[in-house]
Structure 1
Amino acid sequence: MSPLSRRSFLGLSIASLPAWAAEKPALRYLQPADAGYEDARRPFNSCILLKPALIACCRTEADVVAAVRHAKDAGLPVAVKSGGHAFHGFSLNEGGLVVELSGMNNRLLEQGSYRFSAGPGLKLRDCYSWLLARGRLLPAGSCGGVGLAGLTLGGGYGLFSREFGLTCDHLTQVRMVNGNGEIRDSRDEPELLWACRGGGNGNFGIATSFTFETQAAPPNLATRKFTAKGLDASGLARLLERWFEIAATLPDPCFSAVILNGSQATVLLTSTESADGPAFAAATKSFSQAGLSSKGSLTKPLASSIGRYEGRPGPLPFDNVSAGFYRSFADLQSAAAGICATVRETPGLIFQVNTLGGAITRAAASAYPHRGFPFLGELQAYWEKGKIPAKLAAGHASVRQALAAAGIRRHYRNYPDPRLENWQDAYFSGTYARLQALKAKLDPGDRIRHPQSVRLPAV
């Protein structure tokens, strides 16, 4: 098969492209034997071994158009890779075409309005550093290597979400190449903007540029870490319940997470306001009374604080999934003892719960359907190399089964689990049929797909 000639696309209107996409270096297609293929294919999860037949290394919107039209002519399915952090390989495929977007990492901040335009391949660490140097913030997550596209399209939460909202809540415009290789703009199709605010990625098009509203960057971030070691399963469960009670009282500028790992519990508390303020001080006192110890708080400029939470660099082997949304500890109560016992006896298994709520609950309606849940859980498994150890795999399965038995049915699309049976409702409760209608309009041939992409209505 030969790539579609770029001459076929000379009729594309250059005026329709973003200003920063005017230059068009030659589009490269990589095959498995080519130099650079493995670098372009490499996912964050080293367990993912999928081998696409072609990787289109795109640098402009016109490149994306050419790649999708080539895939259509060649009868190839299309997957989309910006940062490669899709936990279970949804940004790759086997034997198809992958549109690789890391070269589309442009950025522009408008004077006066502070609207921020960026390419889909911009990495989060670069987004933060570039905007913070200009006194602005796009509220997002913490993993520095994640691509802006996948983060935004699935929702995007982190330390600042309770104060400012999700990343997708700040999205005001998106341009996309649909499954037929046509350029669409949310200014002309408001439904596209609705869907891109939390409807997930790789469904019906390839986003080529985003425009966001930004926030004035808080000058500092106050943080404090608390730990309790040597806990038995009942001690872990009691501390988990107490964390829920304390976290529910936090004001919007505060974020907290509880991490259970072996016999240790760790609690993170952050705030864009002072560590000496009443809310931070009250939470500190409560966590201390719950049996957690701390070496003290740390307040640093926001730009230097963000890097502390980037996470481990990849690639590395892991099996991470959503552990569900919760309204309170009551949602977990029937499963908590079993989960804590499993985590305590399973090296490499981590159970974590993060605070949501705040500004997330007040944002405009979008394809993200979980705004009423103030807590989100994560189940993580890490090991050194090769296949997942049998004991770790069994512990991971045990926690997933306990969550299902407890009635936890809602899950976060950016933390997908390929083993979920009713993933459509789990990720998109109440919004899935509307996403399907847009799929039928933009990608009627189901060209752009992965194992949990939005299905055509008839499928």
Structure 2
Amino acid sequence: MTDAQRPSGGLGEATIGEFAESLRGELVRPGDSGYDEARSIWNGAHDRRPALIARCHGVADVRRTVEFARSEGLPLAVRGGGHSIPGFSTVDDGIVLDLSPMRGIRVDPGRRTVTAQAGCLWSDVDAETQAFGLAVTGGLISTTGIGGFTLGGGIGHLVRRCGLTCDNLVGADVVTADGRYLRADADENPELLWALRGGGGNFGAVTSFDFRLHEVGPTVFAGLVFYHGEDAAQVLRGFREATAKAPDELSMVVNLTTAPPVPFLPEQVHGRPIAVVLGMWSGRAEDGDAATRPFRELAPVVTDLFGRMPYTGMQSMLDPLYPRGMSNYFRSAFLPDLDEAAAGTILAGYARVPNAVSEVHVHHLGGQMARMPADATAFAVRDQDYLLNVVARSAGGNDFPAVVEWARTITDGFGPGSASYVNFTGEAAEDRVRASYPKDTYERLVAVKDQYDPTNLFRLNQNIRPSR
């Protein structure tokens, strides 16, 4: 037996063999031919070597894996789509509970609901729900898994019209730290459902999600419009003015980035700073041109790519720009306003952008998201009009430490007390977690943690520590 095949953490061959035999799915170990593929995740910044990877094929596998991790004292990472920015989808010398094989979906068009297993990606859910002209707020990148995205909140192109993804979570099936299989909905374990709606993966392994759906598409009016980078200040000022009058059907984002060498942009702007406004009008497609026009006339236009397209086309439009394997780090801050001071901090950071693949995003919020009572879900930051997301990336990784520091410097410019979005937080830091929730919300989350995971088995997340 080679060193790569030796069991980690003192686990004996008989113990591992018994566990493997108990699974319907596959148990992958170091030395197995598929180990390197099974351990890889989307974010190339995290290269870890789990002792075991349990590729679960159903709830029984999930329960057995949770029980095994608890009984053997192994660190447990829960993986759905594997897009975790801080690398929570994997772990050194522990066990990965891999939900990716569980991708069943059932749409009930009469009730306008969808039940999706935890391994589903947003591309899976969008494809099935759009067959009935229905949708729920999903990720801006369609290869993102539904699990972590939902549990952390869920901000996408439908956030102003339909609310956060977690606002539309009406039920969930959960395996808790003691191996129980629980239902969380309005009637059973309602406090657990409350915590799952924004409190992250702290309370158990969710195996299935039930979402409320809305009539959307199949055709929307959406796209991108490009402005010269030197006009970024004018674009931000105009964006603020236009968003003040935007109806709920319109969700827009500013992206301050570097022009890629693509055929739809003039060669003279390739590799130069560029300001992009992207978004979606999800109302009647024929009204989209007029509704988006204020955002497409903010400064002299380089290229305007807005038009009618399939909803699924807009949802997957950015996928090629976020390939698997790049090193990624996000930092975020909620902003009450995009005034001159806020814009100045953003522009100063953009002027120092360290490479061509790092970006600064400003998402317009409000709408239905803001109308949900702050105590209705664990996602309680409802009164902020914008979300700043600093996307720090590196293709090779050599410059990654400097890229990370650049992102931190920008968000730190808004003060240590500024609230952050847990899904766009690149490190596991208790102060950042606490800043993501008001004090009363955080204390309520601790109480739920005490009830369902008092030993903190589910700690590879933006962790809510139990009180004891």
TM-score range, shorter chain: 0.7 to 0.9
Whether contact under 8 Å (1:418, 1:451) holds in the other structure is no
Q: Within 5 Å, which residues of 2 pair with 1:104-115?
A: 104-110=102-108, 112-115=110-113
Q: Distance in 2 between matches of 1:361 and 1:401?
A: 25
The alignment partner of 1:172 has SS state of: strand
Q: Within 5 Å, which residues of 2 pair with 1:44-63?
A: 44-63=42-61
Change (3 A) 1:261 1:150: same
Whether contact under 8 Å (2:153, 2:198) holds in the other structure is yes
Q: Which amino acid aligns with 1:243?
A: F
The alignment partner of 1:29 has SS state of: strand
Whether contact under 8 Å (1:88, 1:416) holds in the other structure is yes
Q: How far off its partner does 1:7 sit?
A: 12
Change (3 A) 1:393 1:190: closer
The alignment partner of 2:241 has SS state of: helix
Q: How far off its partner does 1:276 sit?
A: 5.7
Provide the residue aligned with 1:199 in structure 2: 199
From 305, 317, 325, the counterpart of 1:316: 325
Provide the residue aligned with 1:217 in structure 2: 216
- Show CA shifts across 1:104-127 (max 9, x none): 111112352132111000111011
Q: Distance in 2 between matches of 1:251 and 1:429?
A: 28
Q: Distance in 1 between matches of 2:72 and 2:16?
A: 9
Pick which of 109-118 and 184-193 moved more: 109-118
The alignment partner of 1:321 has SS state of: strand
Q: Which amino acid aligns with 1:247?
A: T
Provide the residue aligned with 1:435 in structure 2: 445
Whether contact under 8 Å (1:223, 1:270) holds in the other structure is yes
- Show CA shifts across 1:158-217 (max 9, x none): 11111111111111111111111111211421011101111112x121001111111123
Segments of 4+ in structure 1 off by > 4 A?
4-9
Q: Distance in 2 between matches of 1:420 and 1:69?
A: 27
Q: Distance in 2 between matches of 1:363 and 1:93?
A: 36
Provide the residue aligned with 1:20 in structure 2: none
Change (3 A) 1:260 1:327: same
Provide the residue aligned with 1:70 in structure 2: 68
Q: How far off its partner does 1:311 sit?
A: 4.6
Change (3 A) 1:452 1:164: closer
Provide the residue aligned with 1:301 in structure 2: 310
Provide the residue aligned with 2:359 in structure 1: 350
Change (3 A) 1:240 1:132: same
Change (3 A) 1:230 1:38: same
Q: How far off its partner does 1:360 sit?
A: 0.6
- Show CA shifts across 1:273-295 (max 9, x none): 35663x85365246425334443
Provide the residue aligned with 1:241 in structure 2: 237
Pick which of 416-425 and 440-449 moved more: 416-425
Structure 1 gaps of 5+ residues are 10-24
Q: Within 5 Å, which residues of 2 pair with 1:60-209?
A: 60-110=58-108, 112-186=110-184, 187-201=187-201, 203-209=202-208
TM-score normalised by the chain length of structure 2 = 0.86
Q: Distance in 1 between matches of 2:428 and 2:458?
A: 21
Percent identity of equivalent pairs:
28
Q: Distance in 2 between matches of 1:114 and 1:274?
A: 19
Q: Distance in 2 between matches of 1:212 and 1:349?
A: 33
- Show CA shifts across 1:270-322 (max 9, x none): 20235663x85365246425334443631123244433233535322233313
Matched, 1:446 2:446: no
Matched, 1:385 2:396: yes
Provide the residue aligned with 2:418 in structure 1: 409
The alignment partner of 1:371 has SS state of: coil
Whether contact under 8 Å (2:177, 2:453) holds in the other structure is yes
- Show CA shifts across 1:354-397 (max 9, x none): 11110111235100011111211111122221333565345334
Q: Which amino acid aligns with 2:216?
A: A
The alignment partner of 2:306 has SS state of: strand
Pick which of 435-444 and 220-229 moved more: 220-229
Q: How far off its partner does 1:336 sit?
A: 3.5
Structure 2 gaps of 5+ residues are 1-10, 259-272
From 251, 255, 266, the counterpart of 1:255: 251
From 373, 381, 398, the counterpart of 1:370: 381
Q: How far off its partner does 1:27 sit?
A: 3.4
The alignment partner of 2:33 has SS state of: coil
- Show CA shifts across 1:40-90 (max 9, x none): 221111120121111111111111110111111111121100010001201
